[in-house]
Structure 1
Amino acid sequence: MTACAPNPDQQCPDLHAAYLEYLRQTGRGNVSYERASRAFFRRWPAPERWTAEPLAVRLAANSATRPLITFLMLHGGLRPGYDYLLERKLSSIWREVTDSPIGADLDRFMTGAAELGFTARVRFATGSQVPARLLIQAGRRLEELTLADLAEFTTACTDRQDRTGKGHHHYLAAVSNAQRVLFHLGIVDELPRSGGPVPFEQRLAEVRAPIRETMIAYLERKRATCQPKTVSAIATRLKHFGVFLAQTDPALDSISSLERRKHIEPYLTSLVDAVNSKNDELITVADRSRRVLAVMGFLTDITEWGWAEAPARKLVFRDDNPKLPQVLPRYLPVDADRRLAEVLRDRPGNELAACALRLQRACGLRIGELLDLELDCVHEVPGHGSWLKIPLGKLETERMVPLDEEILDLIDQIIDLRSHGRPMPHPRYRRPAQFLFTHLGRRLGQQAVRAELHRAAQEAGLGHITSHQLRHTYATALVNAGVSLQALMALLGHASAEMSLRYGRLFDTTVRAEYERALDLAKQQARIPATGRISLPLADITGGAGWKDTPLIKSRMSGGFCLRAPAQGACTYANICEHCPSFHAKPSSLPILAAQRVDAEALAQDAENRGWITEAERHRRLITRLDNLISEAQTG
């Protein structure tokens, strides 16, 4: 049914009669409704005239007139304006919309929302808050709605908040949900914007204008060669420097006027007491270093580029960067790792996020790599099993990680849990991609994963845990199992051996063996009586191995041998007698000297194999000296 022609001097009997018939069919007719409808049409013979009235007049309709207005919106094509629609509660529309022209469109929207995993409560709230109002006001079918319609509705929500002071957060959330559903239905081509970096002009608003302009120009230039997240991080650190300059020297109007003593050194000193705005604690040494490096890079780059704003001399030096502590990776102990895994598996809060954390722990992924996994990330290699293809991450490298049946089952579970829908733009390539972790029509966010980890850690009785500790735990477990350095680098995606060697330092078997040997010796010595002498079996010193094969510094002497830990270094007095000019050998000593020479050869080769070049050279010098002694004994 369509509205009558907008003739202000003529009533619309078709609409009036249709309304009275509607009341009769639905059993809602009464004298009050009939009187209210006659009064309405007498005042506004063409209902479109009513929409031109001020909002106060439109809202003044009493409870007997509002059913007529709802009927006209659903069946008569009446467009009352978003200002009116936002003031009306449309929760009752679900019982009246079934036979209306927009009923089928709302059903389609609700079905699409259900397929994305929205709960019934969220579906009905979103449906009545946004698409129902859009369909009424736009006067078009669902597939004809556009991003401009959503933008107009959003503007109306903002206007309502400015006019009445009533919050509009719930409406904006519903607009975001509605746009996601419309995207996956193929009606609009853009997902709602969620977060993202704040524009440079806004982020650097507290920096004085001349300095801010130079910093923004620099950041725009860096966008050509750096990842967006890198540029965003530089912007945050330059902001700290710019705000400091604005506070300490408000008259400074150019980076070229910076002075070492007046600006740079006070800034470096201020970093010692700088506070993190998120937790009100002092910033870490690593954060101090990052801020210094950002300023150093900024000044160095604009100088090399020949910018007029560049300082005349170098102002920040290598020694200005604080030395970083060499900390070991923070892995979870075995019992904590087991308790956390149990909670994530058996008592998840957000089931999809819990599965994401389990996959991160099983494959040693960074959180960005985890959430960038695509649906086709599992690859079957004939004769070599299943592998997980990990996309480009922090170091711009791809890699493959082997999978077992347990991890494959976990990925199958994730595929069952994820929300299905239209491919979404890849943040790196902008091509459409089906991501492994999707929830309610959008990609699973890092915040949701971290929130689930925090919840699970609390339930498991653990302290604060970061998602990156799961990666550390994965690497530590591999080191404990004896994985090679090359394999560890490949599995973690490390670009240098130094990065992987951090995990090797956790469990150095050579250090452990030497420590236990020395400890056993110390305990034996502690049990010797004051007048007694130590007499240890050879196995107690060498751990059961031949003394020449132990990973120790060894010296062979004519009357025995010496064993020392590498940390102790070579003995200053080893073989001192053999090298002494006063030392002479008799023919009867030839068998002993020959045996000593054979051992020295073996020890030199052993030292070379272990990379102890200085120690090998010491044995070679002894061999030369023994050759001379043997020659003298033979001629004597």
Structure 2
Amino acid sequence: MRLRLARTELRSVARNIHDVVVFSRFIAESRPAQQNDPAVLDRALLESYIGWVGRRTVEKKGPHYGQPVSPGSRIRLLSVISTMLETWRRYGWQPVLPPDARIHRDEYPRQRGLKANFIDEYLMEQIESEENLALLDPETRTLVLICRDEGLRIGEALTLKTDCLKKTPSGRWALVHYKNKDKSFRAIPASRVVVDAIRGQHGRVRERFRDGCHWLFPKVSGNPDGKYPMPYGTVDTRFDAWRKRIRLIDSHGDAAIVNWHQFRHTLGTRMANAGVSGRTIREVLGHTSWAMQEHYSRIADDTLRREYEEKYEVRFNLKGEAVKVHRDADLAGVEWLAEKIGRRLHAVAGGWCGRHIARPCPKTAADGCYFCEDFQTDRQFLPIHRDTLARTRELQISATAAERPRAAGINERLATAVEHVIASITDQEHDELFPATGRQRSRPPRDREDI
């Protein structure tokens, strides 16, 4: 176990110790006279242990009590002993083990297909209800938003630092967190909802500890100096109490139980069903294997969309500003992921919507997307924009002739916005064709307060 501590989390080592204790208990039951003799570790004993593990049932009181132990748990019990025997040989420990004292991989039970563990959308509607979220304390609400929108494991969310938000060169926010599984720091795109929630939580931490605490979620009690992060048991108890308070029920009217990790599955499922490529899901969720990525995307269409191959693309937001996504910039991975997620999740008429999948669409039928700060477009949509402009001007003229000032004003405002987008795109095309001319077209100022 000392050797495993060099590259394994402490809680994983603790679980391995429990597995070794289970093996010791088996030896004490099957060969009590030899339980303290290393020579007992022969092939016959190991074969008996494999069968004994296969017959085990869940001993912990709960909904699964008395049921057969899952294949994953049986594999873990066998692999820990197999690793121990191989380590014994590698370091030449005494006494020397019999040559056939091994547990082979083909003797592990067959792993069942991974269970789809996402939260049903019927339940998510209740969980995401603003009325229900308002019943959560601010800390737990922030954790729910982080796990829902960013797909972090609850352990990763609880160990976020107060400086976890970083801004990319293009102005996007990135959430930097420590990934426990491979002991590395990762940066992923952060939604506006999460950014606002984290800022509010940071403010509450500063009110309590000034600058003496670097945890975004410090332990509530017994933590006067802010040295310790909040334990999982605290937030799990809070979340369970909130679930009962809002009376979370499934489509059959029965009380529903959800856990923190299911938010991660739900984000992956939503992305897969929205057509996000497997590669992008892996990057967002931080998976190192395709098997885990398929755990999320197998319930969606398996057809992968076109990969993002360009060095960068030029798009224009509602202010007419060119939006460039550079792969070589700092935090380029965040830029690329945000671009991929936005492009795959929300294809709209005339461009793309960069709004996070978990945020509702605020547009009205009259305005469409031309007044939304998340709307992006490029030159390939020029025919659509020009057609929209022509039809809008016709409606404006008709409304003016019919003395309908409100309708005329709405169409005039929309036409001005479309003209602004067209001008931005055509100016960019001209600059690319004639870079020496430096032509600049005057553009009307646009501000959301003017809309």
Same fold judged by TM-score > 0.5? Answer: yes
- The equivalent position to 1:269 in structure 2, one of 51, 56, 60, is 51
1:241 and 2:34 correspond:
no
- The CA RMSD measured in Å over matched residues stands at 2.4
1:474 and 2:267 correspond:
yes
Name the counterpart of 1:408. Answer: 195
- Cα 1:340–1:489 change in 2 (3 A) is same
Partner SS for 2:174? strand
Matches within 5 A, 1:15-26: none
- Cα 1:312–1:269 change in 2 (3 A) is same
**Quick one: which amino acid aligns to residue 193 of structure 2?**
E
1:372 and 2:155 correspond:
no
Q: Is the 8 A contact 1:354 1:449 kept in 2?
A: no
Q: Distance in 2 between matches of 1:509 and 1:306?
A: 48
Q: Is the 8 A contact 2:275 2:301 kept in 1?
A: no
Q: Is the 8 A contact 1:367 1:468 kept in 2?
A: yes
- The equivalent position to 2:299 in structure 1, one of 503, 506, 511, is 506
Partner SS for 1:507? coil
Name the counterpart of 2:90. Answer: 304
**Quick one: which amino acid aligns to residue 347 of structure 1?**
L
Deviation at 1:365, TM superposition (A): 0.3
**Quick one: which amino acid aligns to residue 284 of structure 2?**
L
- Cα 1:225–1:390 change in 2 (3 A) is closer
Per the normalisation by structure 2, the TM-score is: 0.58
Per the normalisation by structure 1, the TM-score is: 0.42
- Cα 1:387–1:356 change in 2 (3 A) is same
Deviation at 1:417, TM superposition (A): 4.0
Identity level (%): 22
**Quick one: which amino acid aligns to residue 229 of structure 2?**
R
Name the counterpart of 2:214. Answer: 434
- Cα 1:259–1:417 change in 2 (3 A) is same
Name the counterpart of 1:496. Answer: 289
Q: Distance in 1 between matches of 2:298 and 2:6?
A: 38
Name the counterpart of 2:241. Answer: 455
Name the counterpart of 2:66. Answer: 281
- Cα 1:307–1:374 change in 2 (3 A) is same
Q: Which has the higher helix share?
A: 1
1:291 and 2:77 correspond:
yes
Matches within 5 A, 1:133-152: none
Q: Distance in 2 between matches of 1:291 and 1:379?
A: 42
Partner SS for 1:502? helix
Q: Distance in 1 between matches of 2:10 and 2:303?
A: 44
Partner SS for 2:272? helix
1:393 and 2:180 correspond:
yes
Deviation at 1:356, TM superposition (A): 1.2
Q: Provide, for residues 469-504 of structure 1, a one-character-per-residue CA deviation record: whole Å limited to 9, x for no partner.
A: 110001111112222222211111111333212222
Q: Distance in 2 between matches of 1:499 and 1:509?
A: 14
Deviation at 1:422, TM superposition (A): 7.7
Relative contact order, CA 8 A, sep 6+: which one is greater? 2
Larger radius of gyration: 1
Name the counterpart of 2:43. Answer: 260
Q: Distance in 2 between matches of 1:423 and 1:234?
A: 38
1:319 and 2:106 correspond:
yes
**Quick one: which amino acid aligns to residue 255 of structure 1?**
P
Q: Distance in 2 between matches of 1:371 and 1:224?
A: 23
Q: Is the 8 A contact 1:340 1:456 kept in 2?
A: no
Q: Distance in 1 between matches of 2:96 and 2:197?
A: 55
Q: Distance in 2 between matches of 1:496 and 1:452?
A: 33
Q: Is the 8 A contact 1:395 1:495 kept in 2?
A: no
**Quick one: which amino acid aligns to residue 464 of structure 1?**
I
Q: Is the 8 A contact 1:374 1:436 kept in 2?
A: yes
Name the counterpart of 1:446. Answer: 232
Q: Provide, for residues 42-64 of structure 1, a one-character-per-residue CA deviation record: whole Å limited to 9, x for no partner.
A: xxxxxxxxxxxxxxxxxxxxxxx
- Cα 1:400–1:344 change in 2 (3 A) is farther
Q: Provide, for residues 583-622 of structure 1, a one-character-per-residue CA deviation record: whole Å limited to 9, x for no partner.
A: xxxxxxxxxxxxxxxxxxxxxxxxxxxxxxxxxxxxxxxx
Q: Distance in 1 between matches of 2:298 and 2:291?
A: 11
The runs of 5 or more residues in structure 2 that have no matched partner are 250-254, 305-451
Partner SS for 2:32? coil
- Cα 1:328–1:284 change in 2 (3 A) is closer
Deviation at 1:453, TM superposition (A): 2.8
Deviation at 1:220, TM superposition (A): 2.7
Deviation at 1:509, TM superposition (A): 5.8
Q: Distance in 1 between matches of 2:18 and 2:42?
A: 22
